[in-house]
A and B are shown apart, each in its own frame.
Chain A
Amino acid sequence: MIQQSKLIGQINHFRADSSGWIGSVIMFIFALIAGYRWHTSGLIFFGLLLVRDLAASWFLISRKPSKEKTDLRVIELIAYLSSGFPFIYLNPHHSLPQAGLLSSILAVIGFAISTLAVFDLGRSFGVSPANRGVVRTGLYRYVRHPMYTGYVISEFGFVLLNPFNYILWVISIALYLYRSILENRVLDLPDLASSLGDGRN
């Protein structure tokens, strides 16, 4: 079923969606850190991060109730671990001369894509797999999981900075693929293999 997600919606009661409120507080703290980093470093990248985290924080407390979601706490845990996985990437080491510039460019492009995807999702936004309606507007018209696509692009910058991050990057992609498959099942969307024969759903 196609639903048009709205930007401004009713704030959910804490008891109705406690996980949304907890996630919202976490994203708001991330937004404050991003704002501080923007102020101290002057790097506009942190401004982009600030907008992304504020948007996610808002949508998590105003999101639509889920019609169906995963009951297994393990899957929820994997989703949140996947979200925090980028923190364990190794520091720059044995990087190419232009690696810093390329990784910064990839980070900006990747975060821009994922931030646009957050706005496209709107009140359908969530971290763990849940059915809040299928979104097919904006970037979701072209890519089924643009948020994960943006993360993969931005995280490749870490590989350029340190070749040993390649293994972590592959693990991160595997986690995103796993989340994608679960979300496709919850949203009752065909898997990639079955959809390759027909480019459009």
Chain B
Amino acid sequence: MRRKPHDTRIGMLLALVPALLLVVLAALPAFGAVGCDLNDADRDVPRLFPGATRYQSIYVSIQKKGGAALQHRIEGRLGERHLALYAPIDVPYTIYEIYSGPKKVGYIHGVNQKGQFGGIQVFIAQDLSGKVKTFYIQKMTGPAAAKMRDPRFAKHFVGVTLKDFDSYDPITGKGTGRLAHVPNPAPEMETDFFGVLRGLKKNLVLMDAFIFSGGNP
């Protein structure tokens, strides 16, 4: 008889604790709301990654992964002074982990890249080896935008890996290999064409740093 009220109270407490924890956890991912996200991930993920049944957003920053040293290495690999404008070292990058059933099958990740008339958002879907499965420009401004966003242009990048950039420099536009043979669909808009290629390289380098080599060069 005496134990009963005690048990009931613990029951109530136990019910309350997970409820409040849930509330707190549910609020957490909102930290990553800056950076480069898919406009409508629920719709975009299955389109960019056929066969995906589920995705999970994770948030990674250079600060967390390796700090100033990593930032320096990444900038060295890109040959650019800034990763992106207005991107401090702790800016969170959204990486969508893609699952097919219970199995992880790949990633989707986007970066901001400066273009002639506005920001270019270059997204890629990669399999677990880092090979590009789908290439997608979510946003671009200017006369070249429609041509660059054409799926026929995107096809040129299917199968590209970070290795392809070993023989091709998107800053000078010089080099060999498959990337050197990608035709510019809007020859009058060179800046945007190379912007797209730089965005692609940046995306691959960041994903390599964050995921494929775990922050080590």
A and B are partners in one complex rather than unrelated chains: no
Residues of B within 8 A of A (CB): none
